[in-house]
Amino acid sequence: MNTEKYLPGNLSLNQKLQTLVIGRLLAVFLLLVATWVWNSGHLKLSWEDFPQGLFLVFIISVGLTIVYFFFLRLSESYIWQIRTQFFLDALLVTWLVWRTGVLNSPYITLYIIVIAVASIFLSGKRTLIFATLCVLLFTTLAGLTSFAVIDSFAPAPEMSKVIQIVGFHDVAFLVVGLLSSKLSERYSSGEKLRETTRTLENLRVLHERIVESIRSGLITIDLEGNIFTFNSMAEEITGYRASEMRGRSIYYVLGDIGREIGMALRAGAENENLPRHEMGFTTPDGFVVQIGYSISPLMSESGEKTGLIITFQDLTDIRTMEESVRRKDRLAAVGRVAAGLAHEIRNPLGAMRGAIQVLDSQTPEDSAQANLMEIILTESDRMNSIITNFLKYARPAAVTFAELDACEAILDTLTLLEHSPDVSENHVLRSKLPEGPVLMNGDVSQLKQIFWNLARNSLQAMPNGGEFCISLTKRRNGRLRIVFSDTGCGMPREQVEQLFEPFSTSTTGGTGLGLSIVYQIVRDHNGTISVSSKENEGTRITLDLPSDYGKRASSADGSSSVLTETTSPLKDYLNVRQKSEEVSP
């Protein structure tokens, strides 16, 4: 068995070999000193009692140590180095036993020590082979000296005594070799188990890192729909925590997707392309997001289905951008014609109004004709207002950025609102503003137009009274958040989705251009707008505006501080996430 398979890497084996070489030399040195003290019989040492044979072994060990370290640096074939070193150890012990009387030698025990140490580096089978080698060396040495084939440094005992001593030691060597081989195998198994555990742990960590780094939501479930894996992107998209979702049903998170799961299983069984699906998903916070997802079966090594993997992405921003581009393209052609048509309508409208005013001055005040003329004048004014708003939307004025106090602009709007005929005694107007000025860069007149339109819409949504509140908070990265909230009639989801379309249906009356103009102004200020509404519970509109957009744009341009509307469709994308909920029955 290859020792490299259970020793943790070549670097560790090299270190263990160095320890073996140094430890062997240190052991021989200590044995030399101990033998010298033993021969002297006291701590006062003399050269007459110095063990010459053991000293020769020490000198040989020093030389071999140098050779061993040389080969450690020269070659990485550690297996043959280990075998060679222990073979030479066995020969040195045999030579030392021969020089010290063979059967009467006190160094016979060194065979057992060498066998035990060899079991740390050799496999169980090779440890037993090495113990057998020691038995053969010792038995051969005892036989050669007993039959006077080679000289003995001590008187040979009787043959029966020789057989008894040799047999006893051979059995001891084999028993130690057998036990050491079992310990070696157990050590090898333990090292294998630890190495396997480390490998599995590394694979587990790698798997978790891969799953967590995927920029798509990923959920794995068993065949019963229970969730096992719920990565961080799935948390970000769905708004649920992974710790709360593990063990729960997938239908709790994504709703009834049983039909889609069945389609995925059939497609996997027939080796067809897996279908992709889209769905609207409402997060726990009430955000409506559009997600695209696909379902794939999970297979075991035997090819058996063990579960399903669901990957999904948040398509809300993409769908919003696509809708914004479609809206831009759809209105571009209509806008060019409608703007010219609006101008052409205003000219005869002005002439008609002037003629009616002349006729009205010549008509008795209480006559039926005077009342009809008054209606014509009122409706002509309303038509002129519609045309004016449309032209303002189709051809917006240039944005002039300057430093302003956002709190002051909001307070001015509230002051005008308090004196508006839309406010009754049943309305409560509140504001939550920071202490002191909040400076930002923007067009003050256009920002006030935003505040006025949103505030007036909120009041019109509360015809029987209610509470209206404007709040301003500072956000990170130099952004400001302005929130308009009311307790009015609210809006259904369909109306929220079309809220910023020109001429969209309004529950509060009006031309439907006010919020389209708001949307355009927010876009020109590089801001975002989001809407949250519940029918019969109220509406919450959130503006996020950068405080230094005009300055950054001007410094990048290097010249003017006036920014005009861009004609790029992508610039129209505001990263708007519209949020709505239906009232639970």
CATH code for position 417: 3.30.565.10
Candidate ranges 35-44, 440-449, 555-564, 570-579; pick with highest mean pLDDT? 440-449
Residue of higher predicted confidence among 93 and 302: 93
Positive or negative CA dihedral for 31, 36, 41, 45? negative
Residue 574 CB neighbours (<10 A): 20
Under DSSP, the state recorded for 487 is -
Counting Cα atoms < 13 Å in the Cβ hemisphere of 449 gives 21
How many domains would you assign to the chain?
A: 4
Residue of higher predicted confidence among 367 and 69: 69
Q: What is the pLDDT of residue 405?
A: 92
Give the H/E segment covering residue 531: strand 528-534
- Reduced to 3 DSSP states, what percent helix, strand and coil does the chain have, rounded to the nearest 5? 60, 15, 25
Give the H/E segment covering residue 277: strand 276-282
Tell me, yes or no, whether 252 and 381 share the same domain. Answer: no
Domain hosting residue 117, numbered range: 3-205
pLDDT at 21 over 50: yes
* Structure confidence at residue 569 as a pLDDT band (50, 70, 90): very low
Q: What is the pLDDT of residue 502?
A: 66
Rg (CA), the chain: 47
Q: What is the pLDDT of residues 463-497, one digit of tens each?
A: 888 999 999 998 877 889 999 999 998 888 878 87
Q: How far apart are CA 90 and CA 102, in angstroms?
A: 14
Positive or negative CA dihedral for 489, 492, 498, 503? negative
Alpha carbon separation from 318 to 35, 115, 280, 532 (Å, rounded): 87, 73, 14, 20
Tell me, yes or no, whether 563 and 474 share the same domain. Answer: yes
Tell me, yes or no, whether 151 and 244 share the same domain. Answer: no
Residue of higher predicted confidence among 206 and 581: 206
Supply 107's token pair. Answer: 């160094």
The SS3 assignment for 23 reads: helix
Closest CA to 286 of 579, 510, 585: 579
Q: In the listed set 394, 421, 442, which residue is the last one of a domain according to the structure?
A: 394
Q: What is the pLDDT of residue 129?
A: 92
Q: How far apart are CA 167 and CA 135, in angstroms?
A: 9
Buried b (16+ CB within 10 A) or exposed e, 117-137: bbbbbbbbebbbebbebbbeb
Tell me, yes or no, whether 187 and 130 share the same domain. Answer: yes
Q: How far apart are CA 269 and CA 263, in angstroms?
A: 10
Alpha carbon separation from 17 to 24, 120, 317, 569 (Å, rounded): 10, 11, 63, 72
pLDDT at 557 over 50: no
Q: In the listed set 295, 314, 333, which residue is the last one of a domain according to the structure?
A: 314
Supply 371's token pair. Answer: 């009342």
Q: What is the pLDDT of residue 457?
A: 87
8 A C-beta contact, residue 293 and residue 279 = yes
Q: In the listed set 254, 284, 314, which residue is the last one of a domain according to the structure?
A: 314
8 A C-beta contact, residue 327 and residue 501 = yes
* Structure confidence at residue 112 as a pLDDT band (50, 70, 90): very high
pLDDT at 134 over 90: yes
Q: What is the pLDDT of residue 395?
A: 60
pLDDT at 564 over 70: no
Q: What is the pLDDT of residues 330-364, one digit of tens each?
A: 666 666 666 667 767 777 777 777 887 777 777 77
Q: What is the pLDDT of residue 329?
A: 72
Tell me, yes or no, whether 194 and 231 share the same domain. Answer: no
Residues paired with 483 in a beta bridge: 471, 542
Q: How far apart are CA 508 and CA 443, in angstroms?
A: 27
Q: What percent of the chain has pLDDT over 90?
A: 12
Q: What is the pLDDT of residue 512?
A: 55
Can you tell me which residue has the tokens 């005013």?
357
Q: How far apart are CA 256 and CA 247, in angstroms?
A: 17
pLDDT at 70 over 90: no
Q: What is the pLDDT of residue 559?
A: 37
The SS3 assignment for 495 reads: helix
Candidate ranges 122-126, 333-337, 374-378; pick with highest mean pLDDT? 122-126
Q: How far apart are CA 1 and CA 126, in angstroms?
A: 8
Tell me, yes or no, whether 182 and 36 share the same domain. Answer: yes
* Structure confidence at residue 500 as a pLDDT band (50, 70, 90): confident
* Structure confidence at residue 396 as a pLDDT band (50, 70, 90): low
* Structure confidence at residue 139 as a pLDDT band (50, 70, 90): very high
8 A C-beta contact, residue 483 and residue 531 = no
Give pairs for 359-366: CB < 8 Å, separation 24+: none
* Structure confidence at residue 503 as a pLDDT band (50, 70, 90): low
Tell me, yes or no, whether 310 and 344 share the same domain. Answer: no
pLDDT at 232 over 50: yes
Q: Which of 1-5, 139-143, 283-287 has the lowest mean pLDDT?
A: 1-5
Alpha carbon separation from 61 to 23, 30, 81, 89, 418 (Å, rounded): 11, 13, 15, 9, 104
8 A C-beta contact, residue 242 and residue 221 = no
What would the mean pLDDT of 418-446 be, rounded to a whole number?
A: 88
Q: What is the pLDDT of residue 111?
A: 92
Concatenated DSSP letters of 307-355: EEEEEEEE-HHHHHHHHHHHHHHHHHHHHHHHHHHHHHHHHHHHHHHHH
Q: In 1-51, which ranges are continuous DSSP H helix? A: 10-40
Positive or negative CA dihedral for 257, 261, 264, 270? negative
What would the mean pLDDT of 54-76 be, rounded to a whole number?
A: 83
What would the mean pLDDT of 519-533 be, rounded to a whole number?
A: 87
Tell me, yes or no, whether 91 and 181 share the same domain. Answer: yes
pLDDT at 440 over 70: yes
Alpha carbon separation from 272 to 58, 85, 266, 278 (Å, rounded): 76, 62, 8, 19
pLDDT at 561 over 60: no
Average pLDDT, the chain: 79
Tell me, yes or no, whether 415 and 556 share the same domain. Answer: yes
8 A C-beta contact, residue 466 and residue 487 = yes
8 A C-beta contact, residue 96 and residue 110 = yes
Strand-pair category, 217-222 with 305-314 = antiparallel
Closest CA to 165 of 147, 138, 128, 137: 138
The SS3 assignment for 434 reads: coil
Tell me, yes or no, whether 85 and 201 share the same domain. Answer: yes
Tell me, yes or no, whether 337 and 385 share the same domain. Answer: yes
pLDDT at 133 over 90: yes
Tell me, yes or no, whether 493 and 565 share the same domain. Answer: yes
Residues 299, 301, 306, 312, Cα dihedral to 10°: -40
8 A C-beta contact, residue 264 and residue 311 = no
Residue type, position 374, single letter: E
Alpha carbon separation from 10 to 3, 79, 583 (Å, rounded): 10, 10, 69
Q: Which of 27-36, 401-410, 475-484, 495-504 has the lowest mean pLDDT?
A: 495-504
